[in-house]
Structure 1
Amino acid sequence: MTSRERIVVVGDLLNDIVAVPRGGFQRNTDTTASIRQRPGGSGANTAAWLASLGADVDYVGAVGSADAARHRQMFADAGVRAHLQVEVGVPTGTVVIVIEGDRRTMLTERGANALLDTAALTPALLETASVVHLSAYSFLDGFGVEGAREIVDAATAAGVPVALNPGSIGYLRDFGVPAFREATEGVRVIFPNLVEAELLTGERTPARMVASLLERHEVVALTMGAEGVLAARRGEEPRRTPAPRVRLVDPTGAGDAFAAGFLHRWAQDGDVDAAAASGVMVAARAVLAIGGRPPF
């Protein structure tokens, strides 16, 4: 791949409030639940998982001034070099997540994330990067097509491949598939799940989804939950990597953890099969605990 070693992650940072009801969810009354506050955000989660694997990782994101010091310390404790754009008078993004088995309902305030400036990804950060990983939330509800193009074009000009997590299906629908395709032209690696891939391709089967996405991206890793991942490099047949069977506690951040495991291995030598195997193992660890980041 490259003699460069660092992975740079650009994306959202959130305060997660995760609620797991005990027993059935009761409407219009009290439901006993386990409720935990956790640091989150797709980009920030991926950065933390990468650091837990021993990767040299920089994270670029936006945070509200009221809790900037707390988040900066959490990144430092996790082994992540954080480059935080601090917004005064704006809250850090927050999401309330209600977990019901393998289903999640999310109430999201994007907060400072919507103000992230693409200039935060500096030439110095690109200079020795092996990969730039971009969380699509940042442009779906943030700097838009133009900003995404700035990041992809700058990284490409610096000889750095770009990987992408497509983000939420709701944001994708609102943003629109044509705009998404324009924003992500030149992205080398993409990590959609089944519902995202169906929206982006119009295809109904995993194999056809991967084949369609490979027309635009060099590497596709289609995550399929408990069914594992279907991954391929352009010109090769997709291969399925099964997921380990584990007890699902909280699926929050499983896709972010998968991306971390995949990129940590792929950045070494470009081996897609080995990267997919690494990704599913890290994702399996992620669903064992409440929250989207590695437990310390």
Structure 2
Amino acid sequence: MSSSRDLKGEPRTLSFNIIGDAFADVFCYLSSALPKLGGDSRLLEPVRTKAGGSGLNTATHLASLLSQFSPSFPSDVNLQTVINENDPHGRLLIDHCRRHDINLLNRRVSNVPSCFSGTGQEIVDATVATPHCVVVVAQNDRSFMTYLGCLSNFAGDNVLPMIRNSPAFDVIHISGYFNLPRFWDGSLAHKLRELRESAKAPCDLLISLVPQQDATEQYDGGVKEVLKLIDILILSEVEAKGMTKYHQRANDINGNQEVEDHVAAFFASHTSLLVVVTLGVEGAVALQGGKVVHRQRTYRRDHPIDPTGAGDSFSAGFLFKYVANGADDNAIAEGMRFGCAVASNNVMIQGASIPASKSSIESTLALI
């Protein structure tokens, strides 16, 4: 990686461009296990609605990390997503972005001039709701019920180019690919080729992707074409198994090692792609060219409060530190260590888009 990616390098803007999903998360915290069909469950506290979604979560944690750890470095965090700015959930997400210094670029097809400007899109029903998700949390596990709403209209062609008035290093992070059906089957791949071609130099652009779980359980949607155009793939163990079509054998006694070998072999042909797999309490592993390049343990919390968004907070921590140490041989290791520290704190906070303090992160880093 070029030294121009180092936060200690040239005085130019570092721009994180998050392209993906944003949801109003309706949280339900249960006193027992996840509910069964036909059963009744007790809530620990009143239902609350908070900002969420993989794209918005990642943007929030990145903005916080830049503010707390690199306050003097010129940087910005942009979030391209689709919400209905006129309904209560949309206004909640707008207020959240303002509070956390995130530049929200709403790409909704509507009669609002700032939305989808210049794309030639026809106006669609302006009453389609902001995406929202019911999140049920119980015993360090969670389950989602998602309404895509106007997010289902977000297509690759609607992604804005990165326009800069001053020299910049751009990080483009695609978050929630499988929540964006109109990104599938070539739409996003076409846009990423355009963005690659428009970059002034290859070292001026880094593209990463988090797929998220696929509600269809097909883990397809043309994602293989997208993999050819990105630098970093960050995914959970569940997502890794889904994308690689891993099916655990009944007599498997090797556990994570067999999964790791399977995932490494699957992505081996993508020789330049860095694949980072988060493993919950086991930490994370980085793979490249069919080999393990780094393993990272994490700090285990005895009584985690809410695992929602832990993967997104890891992505933010990893990307922040990976770019900051761009000229270092230890960039991957430092990124994974920092990502694990951020995620370890995230599980102790209710809600997916509430950043941890600098002191909490630094205390956790000392334990990893």
- TM-score by structure 1 length? 0.89
- One-letter amino acid of the counterpart of residue 222, structure 1: V
Q: Indicate conservation of the 8 Å contact 1:7/1:56, yes or no.
A: yes
> How is 1:8-87 mapped onto 2 (pairs within 5 angstroms)?
8-24=17-33, 27=36, 28-34=39-45, 35-54=47-66, 56-64=76-84, 65-67=86-88, 68-86=90-108, 87=110
Q: CA deviation at 1:46?
A: 0.3
Q: What corresponds to 1:132 in structure 2?
A: 172
> How is 1:270-289 mapped onto 2 (pairs within 5 angstroms)?
270=326, 271-289=331-349
- TM-score by structure 2 length? 0.73
Q: Indicate conservation of the 8 Å contact 2:305/2:348, yes or no.
A: yes
Residue 196 (1) aligns with residue 239 (2): yes
How many residue pairs align between the two structures? 294
Q: What corresponds to 1:105 in structure 2?
A: 143
Distance of 1:182 and 1:120 partners within structure 2: 17
- One-letter amino acid of the counterpart of residue 74, structure 1: H
Q: CA deviation at 1:131?
A: 1.1
Distance of 1:294 and 1:26 partners within structure 2: 26
Structure showing the higher strand proportion among its residues: 1
Gaps of 5+ in 1: none
Q: Identity percentage over the alignment?
A: 23
Distance of 1:153 and 1:137 partners within structure 2: 16
Q: Summarize the Cα distance change of 1:184–1:8 in structure 2 as closer, same or farther, 3 Å threshold.
A: same
RMSD across aligned positions (CA): 2.5
Q: Indicate conservation of the 8 Å contact 1:8/1:125, yes or no.
A: no
Residue 165 (1) aligns with residue 200 (2): no
Q: Indicate conservation of the 8 Å contact 2:82/2:154, yes or no.
A: yes
Q: Summarize the Cα distance change of 1:279–1:85 in structure 2 as closer, same or farther, 3 Å threshold.
A: same
Residue by residue, what CA displacement relative to the aligned partner does 1:198-235 show, whole Å, maximum 9, x if unpaired?
22224542144134324325211110001000014448
Q: Indicate conservation of the 8 Å contact 1:25/1:31, yes or no.
A: no
Q: Summarize the Cα distance change of 1:243–1:94 in structure 2 as closer, same or farther, 3 Å threshold.
A: same
Q: CA deviation at 1:169?
A: 3.8
- One-letter amino acid of the counterpart of residue 183, structure 1: V
1:215 is aligned, of 269, 277, 285, to 269
Q: Indicate conservation of the 8 Å contact 2:209/2:233, yes or no.
A: yes
Distance of 1:128 and 1:162 partners within structure 2: 14
- One-letter amino acid of the counterpart of residue 46, structure 1: T
Residue by residue, what CA displacement relative to the aligned partner does 1:228-248 show, whole Å, maximum 9, x if unpaired?
000144486432111111231
Distance of 2:21 and 2:35 partners within structure 1: 32
Residue 115 (1) aligns with residue 153 (2): yes
Q: Summarize the Cα distance change of 1:85–1:169 in structure 2 as closer, same or farther, 3 Å threshold.
A: closer
Distance of 2:99 and 2:354 partners within structure 1: 12
Q: Indicate conservation of the 8 Å contact 2:80/2:159, yes or no.
A: yes
Residue 95 (1) aligns with residue 133 (2): yes
Q: Indicate conservation of the 8 Å contact 2:178/2:213, yes or no.
A: no
Q: CA deviation at 1:272?
A: 0.5
Residue 180 (1) aligns with residue 216 (2): no
Residue by residue, what CA displacement relative to the aligned partner does 1:101-155 show, whole Å, maximum 9, x if unpaired?
2322211101121112433322416983421000143664233222211332123
Distance of 2:265 and 2:324 partners within structure 1: 25
- Indicate the larger mover: 196-205 or 57-66: 196-205
Distance of 2:279 and 2:244 partners within structure 1: 16
Distance of 2:106 and 2:178 partners within structure 1: 14
